[in-house]
Amino acid sequence: MVIDITKTRVLMDLKHGRPLVGCRFDSSGRYLFASSEDDFIVRFDLLTREKVTLAGHSSWVRGMAFVAKPTLVPAASIPSLAILGGLGATRKPTPFVLLSGDYHGNLLWWRGEEDQPKPFRTVAAHAGWIRAVAVSPDRAAVATCGNDQLVKLWSAADGRPLATLEGHTSHVYNLAFHPSGTRLVSADLKGNIKDWDLATGKLVRELDAKVFHKYDSGFGADIGGIRGIAFNAAGTQLACIGITNVSNAFAGVGNPLVVLFDLADGKPKLLKPKDAFQGTGWGVNFLPDGTVVGAGGGGQGRIWFWNPADAANTHTVTVPTNARDMALHPDGSTLAIAGANGNCLIYSMNQAPAVPPKK
């Protein structure tokens, strides 16, 4: 599969009807889960186009992550990939668990592949908002963070609390497991990123992303936070996205920015949009070739692509709504946007199929 970011185009427009808050593809790539301002999570089946509503939260959900159950699906039975409009997805549902965290502090477990999933476990995980949820690479632990300034680890299997990591002094906006599974990073409103050793629970180092934070003295309030975070597959880089250069916090006047850290030396590199776009970056990820992709919005939305070597914004796609979240499909060539207009837009970055010659 050849990725050509200049060929990025809308593959599907999945409508929900209420403003969306977050989105994630499940590990198999068949489903897209989108959370909404109506407190529901919506599961879009990309093969059948079936839409299922998951009811169980009583507030908004921003954090979603998955625990696949490989033991329940012998390798020999892993279904073949079906091709749907250039999108790779498994045809037969593979059991997996969806974990979702809401703004009332509840962390819910769901069997994501069921016809009508219902939460089978609820943990009162945080006082106030859960802002992010991540699952460890070995699928044993779940990490959550929130407005209580805490990072917490839970057993993915039974929901037992495993550890609480204290040290942030503002709302914790995001977190991510290092691909090695040995470290976890958490990032807060004020742009402080903490790198935790999971074996000891100790803070190993801190990274400075304060460029994302400002105390707007005119309005008497803080604005900032790391809105999206991702490691590259090799675990050598960490990308964070948010808003910077804020001149009016209450109107959202500022610019999206990605800070790309080289984890060997902790040095940051600033990836800026080429255009003078005003708004917030809400999602960031790495394509298989290392290209950094971010998405966000102000009055409308954008998808930006950067070459991490020279920080050049190599391509930009206009999105017809404020992109409040972005998810990268497991195939690495497809991404989804959670739109403020209530639609999930799925974009393909595959090289466009050659037009067959006319007979």
Partner 1 sequence: MNICDYACGTADHTVNRRLFLGGGAAGLAGFAGMTTPAAARELKSVQKRMLVIFLSGGVSQLETWDPKPNTDTGGPFRAIPTSVPGIHMSELLPEAAKRMHLLTLVRGINTKEDEHGRGATIMLTGRRTEPGLVYPHVGAVAAKLLTDKDAELPGHIQITPRGGGGFNKEDAAFLGPKFASVTLGDGKPPADLLRPATLTTDAEREAFRRKLNDRFAKSRRSAQTEAYTESYEQAAKVVARADAFDASREDPKAADRYGRHDFGRHMLLARRLLEQGVTFVKVSHTNYDTHHENFDFHIEQLGEFDRPFAMLLDDLKERGMLESTLVVVMSEFGRTPRINDRYGRDHWSKAWSVAMAGCGLKAGAAVGKTNANGTAVTDREVNGGHLFHTYFRALGMDPTKNFYPAGRPVPIADPKAAAIHEILA
Q: Which residues bind partner 1 (CB under 8 A)?
A: 18-19, 37-39, 58-60, 102-104, 128-129, 147, 171, 218-223, 249-252, 279-280, 297-299, 321-322, 340-341
Q: Which is nearer to partner 1, 96 or 129 (CB)?
A: 129
**Whole-number minimum distance, CB 219 to partner 1, in Å?**
4
**Whole-number minimum distance, CB 124 to partner 1, in Å?**
13
**Whole-number minimum distance, CB 167 to partner 1, in Å?**
20
**Whole-number minimum distance, CB 253 to partner 1, in Å?**
8
Q: Which is nearer to partner 1, 59 or 182 (CB)?
A: 59
**Whole-number minimum distance, CB 299 to partner 1, in Å?**
8
Cα distance between residue 186 and residue 127, in whole Å: 17
Q: Which is nearer to partner 1, 21 or 327 (CB)?
A: 21
**Whole-number minimum distance, CB 221 to partner 1, in Å?**
5
**Whole-number minimum distance, CB 239 to partner 1, in Å?**
22
Q: Which is nearer to partner 1, 58 or 236 (CB)?
A: 58
Q: Which is nearer to partner 1, 14 or 135 (CB)?
A: 14
Q: Which is nearer to partner 1, 220 or 353 (CB)?
A: 220
Q: Which is nearer to partner 1, 179 or 252 (CB)?
A: 252
